[in-house]
Structures are given as structure tokens and as C-alpha cells.
Amino acid sequence: MALIDDLKSAQKDAMRAKEKLRLGTIRMALAAIKQKEIDEQITLDDATILAVLTKMVKQRQDAAAQFDAADRKELADKEREEITYIEDFLPQPLTDDELNSLIDDAMASTGASGMQDMGKVMGVLKPKVQGRADMGALSGKIKARLNA
């Protein structure tokens, strides 16, 4: 449960430093984790917590894009700042070379030969890249390989 401990420790640090936005963002993350634990009646492991944090980043990216479209720069900037605070708890993103290598390995291990094998490849890759790669971009890369 190291990730949840990191979040709680960062919450205390943000309180001491009186960083309101960072504190609020960490509290939102802890609340989302707690809500998922209550809904599913389980204690979340690090992988599931990463999935919750990744979802929060995606939500903020969508919100920032909508605020930009509505010409609300100050709100878009706030969303982007929250993203940076959440990303502090996510693992380092994979490079393109690392991602391509993982795709090659997954395609070889599943024997993928066409689009009908897309689900198999994604099933193998998802646990390995959770929180470290954009799943939409990953899906596009796999589609391009399977169609080639």
C-alpha cells in the first residue's frame, strides 16, 4: 500500500506548506480512492489506485480542453496544474522505444496476426503500461501494426 501512504504523506506536506491547490487535488484523489473502495467493498492495491489516478488525469485533460474552447484560460490553467500534482504519483511515462518493444513482445506472445487479436494484445499490455502510457495512443499503435 505504498502509493496510498505516499498520497497521505503528500497531503500532510501540502497542509504544512499551505499549498491550497495541491492539498485540494490530493484530497480529491484520496476521496476518489476511498469512494471506489466503498463502492466495491475492497481495499485497493497500487495497480487499482494507479487506474483511479490515471482516470483523474484524463478527466482534467478533457476539462482543460473544454475550458480552452470556451476561452476560460484561468480555469484551464488550474486543471493543468492539478494534472501536474496528480502525475507526481504516477510512474514515469514509457518512451516510444519501450512502448514499441512491449507491443512487439505482446504480439509475439499472443500470436496476433490481425485486428481480431486486438483485444488479446491490449489485455496483455494494459497491466504493464497502466499509468505509464496513453491508452488511446497505445491502441492506435497496435491497430497500425495489426493492419500492416
Q: pLDDT tier at 112 (50, 70, 90 boundaries)?
A: confident
Domain containing 143 — which CATH number? 1.10.10.410
Q: What CA–CA distances, in Å, run from 63 to 40, 49, 52, 79, 82?
A: 27, 21, 17, 7, 11
Taking alpha carbons only, the member of 106, 130, 123 closest to residue 47 is 130
d(CA 1, CA 67): 35
Q: How much is the pLDDT for 63?
A: 96
H or E stretch including 141? helix 135-147
Q: How much is the pLDDT for 148?
A: 67
> Which of these three, 87, 111, 127, is where a domain ends?
87
Q: Residue 101 is part of which domain span?
A: 96-147
How many domains is the chain built from? 2
- Answer yes or no: do 34 and 70 share one domain: yes
- Answer yes or no: do 112 and 81 share one domain: no
- Answer yes or no: do 76 and 133 share one domain: no
- Answer yes or no: do 36 and 13 share one domain: yes
Q: How much is the pLDDT for 68?
A: 96
Q: pLDDT tier at 130 (50, 70, 90 boundaries)?
A: confident
- Answer yes or no: do 20 and 79 share one domain: yes
**pLDDT of 1 above 60:** no
Highest-confidence segment of 15-24, 91-100, 116-125: 15-24
**pLDDT of 40 above 80:** yes
- Grid coordinates standing for 145? 501494426
- In this structure, are residues 135 and 117 in contact, taking their beta carbons and an 8 Å threshold? no
Domain containing 46 — which CATH number? 1.10.1510.10
Q: Where are the alpha helices (DSSP H) in 70-134?
A: 73-87, 96-110, 118-129
- Answer yes or no: do 69 and 111 share one domain: no
Taking alpha carbons only, the member of 99, 111, 96 closest to residue 146 is 111
For the entire predicted model, the pTM comes to: 0.76
- Answer yes or no: do 106 and 55 share one domain: no
**pLDDT of 18 above 90:** yes
**pLDDT of 111 above 90:** no
- Answer yes or no: do 80 and 100 share one domain: no
Alpha carbon 22 to its chain centroid, in Å, reads: 18
- Answer yes or no: do 73 and 104 share one domain: no
Q: How much is the pLDDT for 33?
A: 95
Share of the chain above pLDDT 90, in %: 51
Q: What CA–CA distances, in Å, run from 130 to 45, 68, 72, 122?
A: 13, 27, 31, 11
- Answer yes or no: do 59 and 110 share one domain: no
